[in-house]
Amino acid sequence: MSDDTLTRFRQSIDNIDAALIHMLAERFKVTQAVGAYKATHGLPPADPGREEAQIARLRALAKQADLDPEFSEKFLRFIIDEVIRHHEQARRSDKARGTAAA
């Protein structure tokens, strides 16, 4: 493999990594809105049924894409756990605002 070939591979990887970061940022913007909605409507931060359905759906997509489903599940679980943490923070903040307003 020539240095030019390796450089092109690495440029592609860098572009893909940048796209992943931007997609994750968009995803978290939406999930933060979901967390705020849940907090103001008294909904729980986590939805285990939704989480399991998402994991099953993405495992199937991973298989179709020839990606290790175990890896995709670990990756999604990491994201879900972070989203739940954000939702819990939103819930605490909403309660604190409600207490302060009372």
Task: Find the angle CA(72)-CA(83)-CA(85) to the nearest 5 degrees.
Answer: 125
The radius of gyration computed from the CA coordinates of the chain, to the nearest angstrom, equals 19
Q: What's 45's DSSP letter?
A: S
Domain ranges of the chain: 3-101
23's tokens: 């997609």
Each residue of 41-59: pLDDT tens digit? 999 999 999 999 999 999 9
Q: Give CA torsion, residues 58, 61, 65, 66, to 10 deg.
A: 70
CATH architecture of the domain covering 3-101: Up-down Bundle (1.20)
pTM over 0.85: no
Question: Which amino acid would we find at residue 40?
Answer: T
Q: What is the residue-averaged pLDDT of the chain?
A: 92
